[in-house]
Amino acid sequence: MTDRIDTYLDDLRAAMRGSDPALVDDAVYDAAEFLRSAATANAGVLPDEAAEAAIASYGSPVEIASAYEEMEATVSAALRTPARRAARGMFAR
């Protein structure tokens, strides 16, 4: 089971190559937490099948990488300081 999840995490790291290292760490940590929890929650299923089901429900590494990068862009844009507007009117001088 852990071999399949470790392979998924390696694929996720590869899909996020070039991204901010902190973002990659967050994505890998979140994926590992979800996949291991979901795989162990299926007590009556074979470990490899449980890992495959968890991976199928989480999404492909490319999809997850894209979602994290979109989220990072949205957050960065929201946190950016707005540009100052030029003063207008007779008291602007």
When mean pLDDT is compared across 10-14, 24-28, 65-69, 86-90, the lowest value belongs to 86-90
pLDDT digit string, tens, across residues 35-63: 999 888 876 778 888 888 899 999 999 99
**Which residues fall within 8 angstroms of residue 36, CB to CB, at 6 or more apart?**
2, 5
pLDDT number for residue 34: 94
The rounded distance, in Å, linking the Cα atoms of 85 and 22 is: 33
The rounded distance, in Å, linking the Cα atoms of 72 and 35 is: 22
Nearest to 14 by CA among 55, 64, 86: 64
pLDDT digit string, tens, across residues 5-41: 999 999 999 999 999 999 999 999 999 999 999 888 8
